[in-house]
Structure 1
């Protein structure tokens, strides 16, 4: 490159625009990142790690999740074994309040500061919301931990109820880009999910919104998804990688290659420099132990420890030992209760 020429290398642009300026990459720039060859992956992860340290710091937020209602969901999300429309091994079940409290206790003991109550539903009915309220009250009587919820699509009245319960963060994933969503779900729309997220944000709850990579989307649609999220400005983005579930329409898809997954981690960080970027489901099968370390040194600054909703994760101790070996401090509780 001659003196005075324009710097066009995408990683040079990322260092200047994101690391130094705190301005996320746009959709076209993200696409360029996603197209980088494997031989530049290490350099890409290093730039993403710089951006994470510059705008989020070294702390890692640890979270545990529990399913209050598992299976029997009426929606047809093609990746999900909890849908009642597919012949999957998962059967409908509900968790009682004492079990919910015990799960919160164990989550807190692992060092986690966040406990998320999840239900496999299109949206919560009055009975489920009453159970959530009772569960939150019981947890707070015994455990000091921030409480989040993921209960599907909401009405304004339900949003207000969750705020009154003291839920500080609400998870509702867009799952994929707007253009690819009809290939993933047909029983509701991307726009319906967006409406719930807008109400949550306007009500003052933190917004947690991410998705699943490796569901057959193109690189262009993956870049489109980062632009969708940048427009939403979520507080947290959980990154899942498809773990194909038997009996679902996506059950026969191939697992996303580790190099593609790591490129995506870095791309999402460079698009969303100030956002909590959380390792979620599928990282074990997609990345393994080495990939998990590379991801934490390539833009990730939060993890879910323990098991997921219908798939096994890593033992919490393994993740905590990894963070300790990398000298990444666990974020202290910043309670809103």
Structure 2
């Protein structure tokens, strides 16, 4: 049998086809001394099928904490002793955050709420917030509000929401070890409704939660089947008081293998660096990922954890001569 990277070069780079589950397992089993070779191929795939642009996004939590779900990685769950109190932002705060995000050159601003799914109060506030942001600043507005009904999907589309985020979080086989208050299928169904509505679908997951290497490959293959416009890749940042609070930090080489594997599974998808990259990969992580398949990033802070100073990330993009994706290109 030919080497996996030779096969990947032919299949993904030359023909634009994503790797299968079995091939992804082979990639994730590559030894440390071949990680750079893997990253180089993933970068070549990204440049060939996506180009040099990097999409920059900021996120803000409209409703923080007090979530009824038991996602074992999340300090916003009301079921754990994590030190996150329930807080709501008002419309002026949302607009200010959107303006600050746009000032970095970002083309995306995502409104997030820690809920199972939106009630009428939340939908009303989102409707008012989206309208106020669109009136004040030129930026695409995305939302992440949990599981949706078809009526809510249609409502968000009518508001002008550009992209909806709803992560699978983990592979189907590992999902019951991560969440017990809702099912993998419920998440999948929301993603299908969003995709079919015409809104862009943002759907990714977390790695480093105790899953096997094979389950990481499974997650990548399932995401490829779902065919989202964007895949945010998060690395577990163990939060005190959560069931996963004592898990070890993912090894940097494993994280980089995962980045490259996700790119080889989805050659044309926006692959976004999301939470945990600073802790998992250190200061060099941004550069190595951008040269290993990543073509989007969240700048600034995350929902309950601190990120890097946006200027640091923007300086890396400038140094690598990777232009920030312009708003006009995302409309």
Bin for the TM-score computed over the shorter chain: over 0.9
Q: Is the 8 A contact 2:107 2:330 kept in 1?
A: no
Unaligned runs of 5+ in 2: none
Root mean square deviation of aligned Cα: 0.9
Query: What is the distance in 2 between the residues matched to 1:122 and 1:334?
Result: 33
Tell me if 1:216 matches 2:216: no
Tell me if 1:320 matches 2:323: no
Tell me if 1:171 matches 2:171: no
Alignment counterpart, residue 87 of structure 1, candidates 81, 92, 110: 81
CA change 1:295–1:335 in 2 (3 A) is closer
Query: What is the distance in 2 between the residues matched to 1:291 and 1:163?
Result: 35
Tell me if 1:49 matches 2:53: no
Number of equivalences: 331
Alignment counterpart, residue 22 of structure 1, candidates 9, 16, 19: 16
Instruction: Give 1:226 shift.
Output: 0.9
Tell me if 1:205 matches 2:199: yes
Unaligned runs of 5+ in 1: 1-5
Residue of structure 2 in register with 1:66 after alignment: 60
Query: What is the distance in 2 between the residues matched to 1:273 and 1:279?
Result: 16
Residue of structure 1 in register with 2:132 after alignment: 138
Query: What is the distance in 2 between the residues matched to 1:299 and 1:201?
Result: 24
Alignment counterpart, residue 127 of structure 1, candidates 108, 121, 125: 121
Query: What is the distance in 1 between the residues matched to 2:260 and 2:139?
Result: 29
Residue of structure 1 in register with 2:269 after alignment: 275
Q: SS where residue 284 of structure 2 aligns?
A: helix
Tell me if 1:301 matches 2:295: yes
Residue of structure 1 in register with 2:95 after alignment: 101
Query: What is the distance in 1 between the residues matched to 2:328 and 2:245?
Result: 39
TM norm structure 2: 0.99
TM norm structure 1: 0.97
Query: What is the distance in 2 between the residues matched to 1:96 and 1:132?
Result: 10
Query: What is the distance in 2 between the residues matched to 1:175 and 1:305?
Result: 21
